[in-house]
A = this chain, B = another copy of it.
């Protein structure tokens, strides 16, 4: 890391001079990942997995969709499981930092030509503006949300917790992030940085300049969203959705439970090099990869953070601790392209 030149020149105890007059202030308009919708061809089994193994609650059912939440999710729901003929991403939703911030972002999105327009809302939130990434991942941004109002039997003694800790499975605490496969990591990354103000925290770039993966954040965690190169010809695939424990040991507990219940454990527990997060990857019965985070990795408070640059996948794998990456990790996403081709 290079030492920054001084942006401010001391003159006296009463006076300084601003040298870097055109320093670009960071865009703080997007506050967080609010919820995710996934598609599942086996919705009952999927819901059973999130309920019985990950301890999440079903809070609403409507049409072909089931709405679920982790016990420390602040809002009404963070996961919408919609029945579909194949697994994949439904959409991901971002919450703006204020109503005005939302309108500013919508204005920026409209200029990109990738805006899809407003919707009235859904279970758990009000008006949302929908758009897509260059690769076609569907997203939305919103302000108005509903907080979760637990029934009597879910009242908790911990006032900073939205509801009582469940007595099922190894219960996850809250939604953490999503990881998307894509055909052009640089292009999709630039889109979200420009339109939403996301900040790049880490990336993998080869010596030839190919961007293999990016980690993007709107907060102090290393990422709410990552992009990975998709080696297939598919576009818009989901790599994984991640829920958070905050407690490393819970990953071993839930991995044990998954093994006992015929849930495919793909990778981990492992301590990542990128993000330093302690993680586990499993496939929910519908086929989507679910990541579980066992700790907070490292947090970034530095407002002038220089993105960390890794040069190849092998180094990224080797410098972590525990299980190395599998072939499937780099190739499998949902929808499962081979499966789809096969069906055609």
Binary flags per residue of A241-258, CB closer than 8 Å to B gives 1, else 0: 000001111101101110
Taking the complex as formed, is A118 at the interface, i.e. its CB lies under 8 A from any CB of chain B? yes
Nearest chain B CB to A315 CB, angstrom units: 9
Taking the complex as formed, is A156 at the interface, i.e. its CB lies under 8 A from any CB of chain B? yes
> A322 with B323: in contact, given A164-B260, A167-B53 (CB under 8 Å)?
yes
Taking the complex as formed, is A165 at the interface, i.e. its CB lies under 8 A from any CB of chain B? yes
List of B residues within 8 angstroms of A10 by Cβ: 118-121, 126-127
A98–B303 contact, CB under 8 A?
Answer: yes
Give the segment of A83-91, A232-240, A263-271 that binds chain B: A263-271
Contact of A321 among B119, B120, B259 (CB under 8 A): B259
Taking the complex as formed, is A108 at the interface, i.e. its CB lies under 8 A from any CB of chain B? no
Q: Which of A1-41 contact B (CB under 8 A)?
A: 1-4, 6-16, 18, 20, 23-26, 28, 31-33
Taking the complex as formed, is A133 at the interface, i.e. its CB lies under 8 A from any CB of chain B? no
B157–A319 contact, CB under 8 A?
Answer: yes
List of B residues within 8 angstroms of A159 by Cβ: 273, 308-310, 319
Tell me, in angstroms, the Cα distance from A157 to B314 when the chains sit together: 13
Taking the complex as formed, is A230 at the interface, i.e. its CB lies under 8 A from any CB of chain B? no
A299–B248 contact, CB under 8 A?
Answer: no
B53–A119 contact, CB under 8 A?
Answer: no
Taking the complex as formed, is A329 at the interface, i.e. its CB lies under 8 A from any CB of chain B? no
What copy number does this chain have within its complex? 4
Nearest chain B CB to A313 CB, angstrom units: 14
Tell me, in angstroms, the Cα distance from A295 to B297 when the chains sit together: 10
List of B residues within 8 angstroms of A308 by Cβ: 159-160
List of B residues within 8 angstroms of A52 by Cβ: 167
List of B residues within 8 angstroms of A145 by Cβ: 4, 304
A144–B249 contact, CB under 8 A?
Answer: no
Give the segment of A56-64, A99-107, A188-196, A336-344 that binds chain B: A99-107
Q: Which residue of B lies closest to A5 (CB)?
A: B144
Nearest chain B CB to A257 CB, angstrom units: 6
B295–A13 contact, CB under 8 A?
Answer: no
Taking the complex as formed, is A328 at the interface, i.e. its CB lies under 8 A from any CB of chain B? no
Tell me, in angstroms, the Cα distance from A154 to B303 when the chains sit together: 25
Contact of A298 among B9, B246, B310 (CB under 8 A): B246
Q: Which of A150-187 contact B (CB under 8 A)?
A: 156-161, 164-165, 167-169, 173-174
List of B residues within 8 angstroms of A103 by Cβ: 16, 18
Q: Which of A6, A148, A260, A295 has the most CB of B within 10 A?
A: A260
> A158 with B276: in contact, given A10-B120, A16-B127, A23-B99 (CB under 8 Å)?
yes
Taking the complex as formed, is A221 at the interface, i.e. its CB lies under 8 A from any CB of chain B? yes
Tell me, in angstroms, the Cα distance from A145 to B117 when the chains sit together: 43
List of B residues within 8 angstroms of A270 by Cβ: 322-323
Shortest Cβ-Cβ A-B pairs, 5 listed: A249-B249, A13-B117, A32-B301, A296-B296, A323-B323
Please name 26 pairs of A and B residues whose Cβ atoms are closer than 8 Å in the assembled complex, sorted by A. Answer: A8-B126, A10-B118, A10-B119, A10-B120, A10-B126, A14-B117, A18-B100, A24-B98, A26-B97, A28-B28, A32-B302, A72-B298, A74-B305, A97-B303, A145-B304, A158-B260, A159-B273, A159-B310, A159-B319, A160-B274, A160-B275, A160-B298, A167-B261, A220-B299, A246-B296, A255-B322
